[in-house]
């Protein structure tokens, strides 16, 4: 199974990059899960948690507020306005 | 020790003291350049992502509508200029160059019949305008280097509000930014760029435009664009701020390097002068002794 190449950035720094099996983002019209081989999508984000699940099942979460996510050929770019400094769980 | 020598020694000591300070400043600046540059690079992924996203929305629907995209938004004739300068001096021509460029731009806008409205970052720029009795419309000074991101967001909020305002006393037609571009630690130059109206790079003009996949937009293309445009502006402003910060450090390093070299030249010069003063003193003393002995010998007295 292919993996997602995730780049998670805020306006002034890169928060997380790497491979992931699944990403869950809080889109403005409801939570959205992203799996490999999803169709190209560009979505606006609202307030909530971004959850990145690695291949070994480890999940990391971050509280975010506003931004957008783009998904194209298993490359996921999450760009957010504000993100909590520390991951809430690991 | 003669008075002259003492004076030279004093000058040498003071030059040595200054040299130490300049050297320390130079090293601090050198260390900060790489940090500041890393911060510039850290914003690149976000800027790339947002540029790509806007490009894909633009290619998706041809009839884009957003107040920042309209090429002709002339209504009040007010044009905003965002000027970025430093808080502190000792950075060579960094702030003066940026200020001069902003003034040139303001004069050009005035010649076109527009009213320049200044938004200034940094104490150097702020005092420049306050001293000339035409204070900036908004000024952010002093600012903290670690909070450039937050500062950029705040500036973006203020200018966005002014750009979208319907009040003719506040509304801005255009927005320019004058900052210093960081090319490398040896090369930086001040540059004025237009931020609004935004120039959407059209694929048909360049020919080598990247092809964007057919995205699915959530909730829809219009809403996505409405969210993206202000963020694009913000990311541009943050990027300019960070590049300017890196340039400031590079500029300060260069200025402090020159100052250190000058202090060294001073020390060398005064050491030479002090040496020759000492030699002159010795020569004079010798001459006096020899002259005195000669005078005694010539006086005809035999006993010593």
Task: Give residue A90's pLDDT band: very low, low, confident or very high (50, 70, 90).
Answer: very low
Helix (H) or strand (E) holding A73: none
Q: Which of B148, B216, B235 sits opposite A40 (nearest CB)?
A: B216
Nearest CA among B67, B63, B267, B287 for reference residue B159: B67
Identify the burial level of A63 via C-beta atoms within 10 angstroms of its C-beta, where 0-12 means exposed, 13-18 middle and 19 or more buried. middle
Chain A residue with the nearest C-alpha to that of B57: A42
- Residue found by looking up tokens 């000074």 in the block: B141
Query: Strand, coil or helix: what is A80?
Result: strand
Q: Which residues of A touch B (CB under 8 A)?
A: 7, 9-14, 27-29, 32, 39-44, 66-68, 70, 72-73, 77, 79, 81
- The secondary structure of residue A12, as a DSSP letter, is T
Q: Which of A12, A42, A79 sits opposite B224 (nearest CB)?
A: A42
Interface contact flag, B213 A73, Cβ < 8 Å: yes
Q: How far apart are CA B81 and CA B116, in angstroms?
A: 7
Full set of structural domains in chain B with CATH: 35-251 (3.40.1380.10)
Helix (H) or strand (E) holding A19: strand A13-20
Instruction: Determine what percent of chain B is predicted with pLDDT higher than 70.
Output: 92
* A88 vs B234 pLDDT, higher one: B234
User: How many angstroms separate the first and last alpha carbons of chain B?
Assistant: 30
- Give the pLDDT confidence of B116-128 residue by residue, as tens digits: 999 999 999 999 9
In this structure, are residues B196 and B162 in contact, taking their beta carbons and an 8 Å threshold? no
Interface contact flag, B238 A14, Cβ < 8 Å: no
User: What distance in Å separates residue A36's CA from the closest CA in chain B?
Assistant: 15
- Mean pLDDT across B234-250: 91
Q: What is the DSSP string of chain B?
A: --HHHHHHHHHHHHHHHHHHHHHHHHHHHHHHHHHHHHHHHHHHHHHHHHHHHHHHHHHH-S----TTT-S---SS-EEEEEEE--SSS-STTHHHHHHHHHHHHHHHHHHTT-EEEEEEESHHHHHHHHHTT---SEEE-S--GGGHHHHHHHHHHHHHHHHH---TTT--SEEEEEEEEEEETTEEEEEEEEEES-----HHHHS-PPPPP-PEEES-HHHHHHHHHHHHHHHHHHHHHHHHHHHHHHHHHHHHHHHHHHHHHHHHHHHHHHHHHHHHHHHHHHHHHHHHHHHHHHTT----
Count of CB pairs separated by less than 8 Å, A with B:
90
* Residues of chain B found within 8 Å of residue A73, distances taken between Cβ atoms: 213
Residue B277: pLDDT above 80?
yes
- Give the pLDDT confidence of A66-85 residue by residue, as tens digits: 888 988 888 888 888 777 66
- The secondary structure of residue A71, as a DSSP letter, is E
Longest dimension (CA), chain B: 121
Interface contact flag, B216 A42, Cβ < 8 Å: yes
Name, of A45-54, B26-35, B190-199, the range with top average pLDDT.
Answer: B26-35
Q: Which of A9, A42, A72 sits opposite B46 (nearest CB)?
A: A9
Task: Give residue B301's pLDDT band: very low, low, confident or very high (50, 70, 90).
Answer: low
Query: Strand, coil or helix: what is A32?
Result: strand
Chain A residue with the nearest C-alpha to that of B213: A40
Nearest CA among B83, B193, B97 for reference residue B138: B83
Chain A residue with the nearest C-alpha to that of B47: A11
Q: How far apart are CA B262 and CA B18, in angstroms?
A: 10
| B121 phi, psi to nearest 5 deg | -115, 130
Q: How far apart are CA B152 and CA A65, in angstroms?
A: 17
Task: Give residue B16's pLDDT band: very low, low, confident or very high (50, 70, 90).
Answer: very high
Q: For the stretch B60-76, what's the b/e string if a residue is b when 16 or more beta carbons lie within 10 angstroms of its beta carbon?
A: beeebeeebbeeebeeb
Q: Which of B39, B227, B242 sits opposite A44 (nearest CB)?
A: B227
User: What distance in Å separates residue A40's CA from the closest CA in chain B?
Assistant: 5
Q: Which of A7, A40, A73 sits opposite B45 (nearest CB)?
A: A7
Task: Give residue A17's pLDDT band: very low, low, confident or very high (50, 70, 90).
Answer: confident
Q: Which of A11, A43, A66 sits opposite B46 (nearest CB)?
A: A11
- Residue found by looking up tokens 């957003």 in the block: B66
In this structure, are residues A9 and A78 in contact, taking their beta carbons and an 8 Å threshold? yes
Identify the burial level of B181 via C-beta atoms within 10 angstroms of its C-beta, where 0-12 means exposed, 13-18 middle and 19 or more buried. middle
Q: Which residues of B touch A (CB under 8 A)?
A: 39, 42-43, 45-46, 49-50, 52-53, 56-57, 148-149, 152-153, 213-219, 223-224, 227-228, 231, 234-235, 238, 242
* Residues of chain B found within 8 Å of residue A44, distances taken between Cβ atoms: 218-219, 223-224, 227
- What ranges do the domains of chain A cover? 4-81
- Mean pLDDT across B59-82: 77
* Residues of chain A found within 8 Å of residue B148, distances taken between Cβ atoms: 12
How far out from the chain centre does Cα B94 lie? 4
Q: At what angle do helices B221-298 and B3-60 cross, to 10 degrees?
A: 170
* Residues of chain A found within 8 Å of residue B241, distances taken between Cβ atoms: none
Residue B256: pLDDT above 60?
yes
The CATH fold assigned to A4-81 is ATP Synthase; domain 1 (2.60.15)
pTM value surpassing 0.90: no
């Amino acid at each position: 199974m292919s993996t997602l190449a995730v780049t998670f950035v805020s306006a002034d720094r890169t928060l997380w990059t790497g491979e992931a099996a699944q990403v869950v983002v809080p889109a403005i019209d409801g939570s959205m899960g992203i799996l490999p081989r999803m169709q190209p999508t560009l979505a606006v984000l609202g307030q909530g948690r971004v959850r990145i699940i690695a291949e070994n099942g480890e999940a990391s979460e971050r509280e975010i507020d506003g931004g957008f996510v783009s998904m194209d050929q298993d490359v996921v770019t999450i760009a957010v306005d504000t993100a909590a400094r520390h991951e809430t769980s690991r | 020790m003669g008075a002259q020598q003492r004076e030279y020694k004093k000058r040498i000591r003071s030059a040595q003291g200054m040299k130490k300070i300049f050297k320390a400043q130079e090293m601090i600046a050198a260390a900060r350049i790489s940090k500041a540059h890393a911060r510039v690079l850290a914003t690149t992924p976000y800027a790339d992502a947002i540029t790509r996203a806007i490009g894909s929305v633009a290619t998706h629907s041809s009839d884009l509508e957003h107040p920042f995209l309209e090429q002709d938004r002339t209504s009040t004739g007010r044009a905003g200029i965002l000027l970025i300068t430093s808080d502190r001096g000792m950075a060579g021509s960094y702030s003066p160059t940026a200020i001069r460029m902003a003034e040139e731009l303001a004069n050009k806008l005035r010649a076109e019949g527009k009213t320049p409205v200044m938004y200034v970052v940094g104490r150097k720029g702020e005092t420049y305008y306050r001293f000339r009795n035409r204070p900036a419309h908004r000024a952010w000074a002093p600012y903290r280097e670690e909070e450039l991101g937050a500062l950029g967001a705040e500036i973006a909020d203020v200018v966005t509000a002014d750009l979208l305002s319907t009040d003719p006393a506040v509304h801005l037609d255009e927005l320019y930014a004058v900052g210093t571009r960081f090319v490398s630690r040896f090369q930086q130059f001040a540059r004025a760029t237009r931020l609004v109206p935004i120039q959407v790079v059209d694929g048909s003009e360049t020919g080598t435009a990247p092809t964007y996949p057919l995205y699915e937009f959530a909730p829809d293309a219009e809403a996505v664009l409405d969210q993206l445009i202000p963020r694009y502006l913000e990311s541009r402003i943050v990027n300019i701020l960070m590049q300017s910060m890196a340039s400031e450090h590079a500029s300060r390093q260069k200025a402090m390097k020159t100052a250190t070299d000058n202090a060294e030249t001073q020390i060398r010069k005064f050491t030479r002068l002090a040496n020759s003063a000492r030699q002159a003193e010795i020569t004079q003393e010798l001459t006096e002794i020899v002259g005195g002995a000669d005078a005694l010998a010539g006086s005809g007295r035999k006993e010593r």
